Amino acid sequence: MGNAVDLQPLLPTSPEERLILALDGCDGDEALALVEGIPGLCWVKVGLELFIRSGPEIVDQLRCRGFQVFLDLKFHDIPATVAGACRRAARLGAGLLTVHASAGTEAMAMARQAATEAAMEAGLPSPLLLAVTVLTSWRPQPFRQQLAVANPLSAHVEHLARLAARAGLHGCVCAPRDAARLHRQQPAMALVTPGIRLHRIQGDDQARTMTPAAAMAAGSTWLVVGRPVTRSVDPGLAFTQLCQQIATARVPCG
């Protein structure tokens, strides 16, 4: 199954374009005030918390202010339901959408087709559809014990990425520590990595984290960062510091 979307126009070319600010924990007014106070910010992530609190209107409000939106709702259901959800999400104008790779190849392929068709019908650019592999909160031992997956966590990530590529998806969401393997395995796919940290955070619920420079060197396309910016006393400065790290990072070829 081939990709119906040309990735090149959406791919980032500057440090500012590589950072996606996660607006988790904000309500609509807080999110809008926060993003307007960060010079250079291009991408924002609307996840389940903000979407449930503020509804689909928050996507339109952010887009009207010039931001690209990563709508991270991680759809996981039967194929028809996943496709229907992606069809409606694409009409909101988000640039990036997520589905769980564990929904299977049929669900992912149907979701990609539905999102592309819906965006075209609405006169909008087609979103890039991303497959969520294994959440960054999982550590290897609990992953195997609780989910009873025979393969090691890293091998399961690679397996899910292969399913996503077979379904024609445009990229994967993975922990930064998984990015290097996936970049070698699927060099044409975009990799979006949450769990980006400038330093260790006490009580962090993200397990497989990396610094911005290390994640870039591993092959990440976009870096998702939340608390290091949103909980900073100076979010604009924190964003600038992250961009500076990205600007000096060594990026793998290919």
Q: Among residues 72, 204, 205, 234, which one is catalytic?
A: 72
Q: What percent of the chain has pLDDT over 90?
A: 67
- Other CB atoms within 10 A of residue 149 CB: 15
What range does the domain containing 41 cover? 12-248
List residues forming the annotated binding site for substrate: 24, 45, 72-81, 136, 197, 206, 226-227
> How many domains would you assign to the chain?
1
C-alpha 168/C-alpha 105 separation (Å) is: 9
pLDDT per residue as tens digits for the range 71-103: 999 999 999 999 999 999 999 999 999 999 999
Residue 101: CB partners within 8 Å, gap ≥ 6? 108, 131, 132, 133, 160, 161, 163, 164, 172
Distance, CA of 195 to CA of 164 (rounded, Å): 21
- Indicate whether 217 belongs to any domain: yes
6 carries an active-site annotation: no
> How confident is the model over 111-168, as pLDDT tens digits?
999 999 999 999 999 999 999 998 888 888 888 889 988 888 989 999 999 999 999 9
- CA-to-CA distance for 33 and 93, rounded, in angstroms? 21
pTM for the model stands at: 0.90
Q: How confident is the model at residue 11 (pLDDT cuts 50, 70, 90)?
A: confident
- Alpha helices by DSSP H, listed for the chain, are 15-18, 28-36, 48-54, 57-64, 79-90, 105-121, 140-147, 153-166, 176-185, 212-218, 227-230, 235-247
* Helix and strand totals (H; E) in the chain: 12, 8
Annotated binding site: 24, 45, 72-81, 136, 197, 206, 226-227
| Catalytic site includes residue 77 | yes
Residue 49 maps to a domain: yes
Catalytic-role residue among 60, 77, 205, 234: 77
Domain CATH number, residue 143: 3.20.20.70
205 is catalytic: no
- pLDDT tens string 153-167: 989 999 999 999 999
Taking alpha carbons only, the member of 207, 242, 203, 241 closest to residue 224 is 242
Residue 218 lies in a domain: yes
Question: Does residue 254 lie within any of the structural domains?
Answer: no
Domain membership of residue 22 (yes or no) is: yes
Q: Would 2 be classed as within a structural domain?
A: no
Show the tokens assigned to 244: 């500076």
Reduce the DSSP state of residue 65 to 3 states and report it. Answer: coil
The letter for the amino acid at 49 is E
Q: Is residue 3 part of a domain?
A: no
Q: Which of 60, 74, 204, 234 is catalytic?
A: 74
Residue 81 lies in a domain: yes
Q: Rounded to 5 degrees, what are φ and ψ at 10? A: -95, -15
Backbone Cα Rg of the chain: 17
